């Protein structure tokens, strides 16, 4: 099946810092989503972004489908940004999401 690799696995940020999370995938995809899993376990949908660039407040994401990677940018990080960020993709032909192992982000005040 499709492989999804996220880096870095762990990240500690000072509040106010910026960061970039990366997701590489091994095959062409029709669906790519970024999620934030908060400390209570909830999976919050951040972006649906199989290609192109989107922004939502302090978060933005870019997917370069031809090169099989996606980036999630966090600017001016806040403690509420702590948690695990997951990239999930669905290869052509179905909508079954395959998840990466996540980026564990800790923002310290």
Partner 1 sequence: DSGVTQTPKHLITATGQRVTLRCSPRSGDLSVYWYQQSLDQGLQFLIQYYNGEERAKGNILERFSAQQFPDLHSELNLSSLELGDSALYFCASTRTSGRTDTQYFGPGTRLTVL
Query: Dihedral, CA atoms, 76, 80, 83, 88, nearest 10 degrees?
Result: -70
Among 39, 67, 94, 109, which residue interacts with partner 1 (rule: CB under 8 A)?
94
When asked if residue 96 is in the footprint of partner 1 (CB under 8 A), the reply is: yes
When asked if residue 25 is in the footprint of partner 1 (CB under 8 A), the reply is: no
Cα–Cα dist 34/63, whole Å: 11
Cα–Cα dist 61/55, whole Å: 6
Q: Considering only residues 36-75, where is the footprint of partner 1 by CB under 8 A?
A: 41-45, 48, 50
Nearer to partner 1, 56 or 95 (CB): 95
Question: Min. distance of Cβ 7 from partner 1 in angstroms?
Answer: 15
Alpha carbon 73 to its chain centroid, in Å, reads 9
Q: From the CB of residue 83, how many other CB atoms can be counted at a distance below 10 Å?
A: 22
Among 83, 102, 105, 107, which residue interacts with partner 1 (rule: CB under 8 A)?
102
Span from 14-22, 66-74, 75-83, 94-102 in contact with partner 1 (CB under 8 A): 94-102
CB proximity list for 94: less than 8 A, separation 6 or greater: none
Judged by the rule CB under 8 A, the positions of this chain that interact with partner 1 are 30-31, 33, 35, 41-45, 48, 50, 86, 88, 90, 92-99, 101-102
């Amino acid at each position: 099946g499709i492989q999804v690799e996220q880096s870095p696995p762990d990240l500690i940020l000072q509040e106010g810092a910026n960061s970039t999370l990366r997701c590489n995938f091994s095959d062409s995809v029709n669906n790519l989503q970024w999620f934030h899993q908060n400390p209570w376990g909830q999976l919050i949908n951040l972006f649906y972004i199989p290609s192109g660039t989107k922004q939502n407040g302090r978060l933005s994401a870019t997917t370069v489908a031809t090169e099989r990677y996606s980036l999630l940018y966090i600017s001016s990080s806040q403690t509420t940004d702590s948690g695990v960020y997951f990239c999930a993709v669905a290869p052509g032909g179905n909508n079954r999401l395959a998840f990466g192992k996540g980026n564990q982000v800790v923002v310290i005040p």
